[in-house]
Structure 1
Amino acid sequence: MTLDAPYLPARDFIGYGERPPAAEWPAGAKLALNIVVNYEEGAEYSIGEGDGVSEAILSDLAVSPAVPGLRNRNMESLYEYGSRVGVWRLISLFRDKGVIPTFYVVGRALELNPAAGKAIAALGSDIVCHGWRWIDYAPLSEEEERQHIAMTVDTVRKITGIDPLGWYTGRPSLNTRRLVAEHGGLLFDCDDYNDDLPYVVDVGGRRHLVVPHSFDNNDSRYSRGSGLETGSQFFEYVSDGVDWLLKEGQKTPRMMTVSLHCRLAARPGRMIGLERFLDKVTAHPDIWVCRRSDLARHWLSRFGG
């Protein structure tokens, strides 16, 4: 098959290969660990938002087929748990443990609950913009997606007072990375899952930083039938990941993302596992628990962008 146009974004199966660059994390850390909290509640697919269908994924609801034109009150209320209870429970735990996570914030969700944005800012978190809506951006026009990027950045600044430095759509289009780079002011995006270190790509002649996200060390496993059901199981899995990367980090320091959702990780039966994990990583001298923007700045200062 012959392609008439460049296959963009181009795929890269080689990356750093056998010789990844020396990250040289601060204080000689062997692992840079970033904890991400996704704040999406209210921005998901919803009849009330004019989408024509209700959300069907990423909740404790086992099976939820999207039925055109019909509200799914079970799904709606499961998402509401994240904004009514979950975000506050997580913020309280992080405050008590002295850990500052990164928040991936969806613009519309923030607009619907600005008090959460104020609390995120008070915690000292950085914010990665997570789209205007928690929807699939592939069907949207380029112009509509461009508008959504601008709306999200403006809303985050207005409500939280934070200048966001990163972007993560989660369900991006083929235009997303280029539009983020063109918007300006955003140092990096996270819309890839293909490495344990940041890397730089060329986007329209611009050098653009990618800080890969993780579906692996991710509490979405609670909703995917992956066999992770309890906080203890989640702790064991992400703890094993930390132990391996610390071992590997004696030669090649890496990064690790642990991703949480307010409606999933913050259930009472899962919080003790998260607390155990925070206790473990904050007590370890070879782990740099960092915000995502700090990790990105370190990488850019060391390798340029």
Structure 2
Amino acid sequence: MERDLVGHGLPAPFERWPNGARVAVNIVVNVEEGAEAAWPDGEGNDSWGEYAIPIDPAIRDLGTEGHFEFGSRVGIWRLVRLFERFDADVTFGVCARALERNPPFAAWLRASRHDVLGHGYRWAEVTTMSEEEERADLEHAMRVLPDLVGRPVRGWYVRSFPSERTRRLAAAHPDLVYDSDAVNDELPYWTEVEGRRWLVVPYSKVHNDTRYFLAPTYATPRHFAETLIAAADFLLDEARHGAGARLMTVGLHPRWSGQAARAGAVRDFLAYVAGQPEIALVHRWQVVQWWTELDL
């Protein structure tokens, strides 16, 4: 995979999104709980819990398992209530095994208007897999996800960071039209993968609740809310001064942002956006459709 260090440049690609917004905000909720490595599945322990105490792989880590269970039992519904309260369009990045293990949430998602982004069958690092293993995981997810969510799944992204083959494997699947593994831009862009025109809708590791645990960390949820609000405010100011329409991606996880105090940061950000007529909460498929329509 070749590096591309040239982006959209100084000239604004376009002034406003087709819905009239200067700034489109896309919240991506990472639904991973139940797809992580765990003893009952013969996969050992996962390291992304609420604490950083190393657990011997020979010992079952019930603490981390319980933390993930909180996300599926409590956290996801707390976030759902906030999205419904603010009438927000969002994207759910779904690991298929997580959805298989939470039928009530699968039913809610199937009945909702929200977008679904494929996030693997298991929540595992593809950089540690062989090409055959990564392809098998992608194909497994893409076989079961459309039935689980009741509609086609058109986008793909993996845990942490992609392998050199991830985009090629995604582009080879006939149902997928874009990936969100890149973090090298804010706006979408077109590329080519083995002769196929391919859309990239970048993700963000910065406007992301993983920053509660990755340095520089947030001392309180208020700092996360302030960061998100500051980013949206700056993008809006930038758009008003000739930079063109902007896109902001926010990454959330039910096991983290579904905790009561941290959910307050999500609430405060949603309230801010709701008060800005030039900012719109959108899901990723809307962005894909708009970008295709604009043919940029």
TM-score class, shorter: over 0.9
Q: How many residues align?
A: 293
Between the aligned residues of both structures, percent identity stands at 38
Letter in 2 for 1:292: R
Structure 2 residue corresponding to 1:293, chosen from 278, 285, 288 = 285
Superposed, which structure 2 residues align to 1:131-170 within 5 Å? 131-170=120-159
Structure 2 residue corresponding to 1:186, chosen from 176, 184, 190 = 176
Superposed, which structure 2 residues align to 1:122-137 within 5 Å? 122-137=111-126
Query: Which residue matches 2:225?
Result: 235
Q: What SS does the corresponding residue of 2:191 show, helix, strand or coil?
A: strand
Superposed, which structure 2 residues align to 1:30-45 within 5 Å? 30-45=22-37
Letter in 1 for 2:289: R
Q: What SS does the corresponding residue of 1:67 show, helix, strand or coil?
A: coil
Q: What SS does the corresponding residue of 2:252 show, helix, strand or coil?
A: strand
Conserved 8 A contact 1:231-1:269: yes
Conserved 8 A contact 1:78-1:263: yes
Cα deviation for residue 157 of structure 1 reads 1.3
Cα deviation for residue 81 of structure 1 reads 0.5
Conserved 8 A contact 2:95-2:122: yes
Cα deviation for residue 85 of structure 1 reads 0.5
Alpha-carbon displacement from aligned partner over 1:273-293 (angstroms, at most 9, x marks no partner): 211211111221111211101
2:179 is aligned with 1:195: no
Cα deviation for residue 225 of structure 1 reads 4.3
Query: Given the two structures, how large is their TM-score scaled by the length of structure 2?
Result: 0.94
Cα distance 1:49–1:195, how it changes in 2: closer, same or farther (>3 A)? same
Q: What SS does the corresponding residue of 1:69 show, helix, strand or coil?
A: coil
Conserved 8 A contact 1:55-1:66: no
2:42 is aligned with 1:81: no
Cα deviation for residue 106 of structure 1 reads 0.3
Let me know the Cα RMSD of the aligned residues: 1.5
Query: Which residue matches 1:54?
Result: 45
Query: Which residue matches 2:165?
Result: 175
Conserved 8 A contact 2:15-2:239: no
Cα distance 1:141–1:122, how it changes in 2: closer, same or farther (>3 A)? same
Conserved 8 A contact 1:60-1:222: no
Which segment drifts farther, 66-75 or 286-295? 66-75
Alpha-carbon displacement from aligned partner over 1:21-64 (angstroms, at most 9, x marks no partner): 2263024311111011110001112222222x31112x321x13
Structure 2 residue corresponding to 1:107, chosen from 76, 96, 109 = 96
Letter in 1 for 2:176: L
| Structure 1 Cα separation of the partners of residues 180 and 11 of structure 2 | 22
Query: Which residue matches 2:7?
Result: 15
Alpha-carbon displacement from aligned partner over 1:141-166 (angstroms, at most 9, x marks no partner): 22222221121122211122121111
Q: What SS does the corresponding residue of 2:256 show, helix, strand or coil?
A: coil
Conserved 8 A contact 2:90-2:115: yes
Superposed, which structure 2 residues align to 1:233-272 within 5 Å? 233-250=223-240, 251=242, 252-272=244-264
Which segment drifts farther, 117-126 or 231-240? 117-126
Alpha-carbon displacement from aligned partner over 1:48-98 (angstroms, at most 9, x marks no partner): 2222x31112x321x133533322111111111000110111111111211
Contiguous gaps of at least 5 residues in structure 2: none
Q: What SS does the corresponding residue of 2:88 show, helix, strand or coil?
A: coil
Query: Given the two structures, how large is their TM-score scaled by the length of structure 1?
Result: 0.91
Contiguous gaps of at least 5 residues in structure 1: 1-8
| Structure 2 Cα separation of the partners of residues 69 and 208 of structure 1 | 43
Conserved 8 A contact 2:110-2:148: no
Alpha-carbon displacement from aligned partner over 1:116-137 (angstroms, at most 9, x marks no partner): 1111232311100001111111
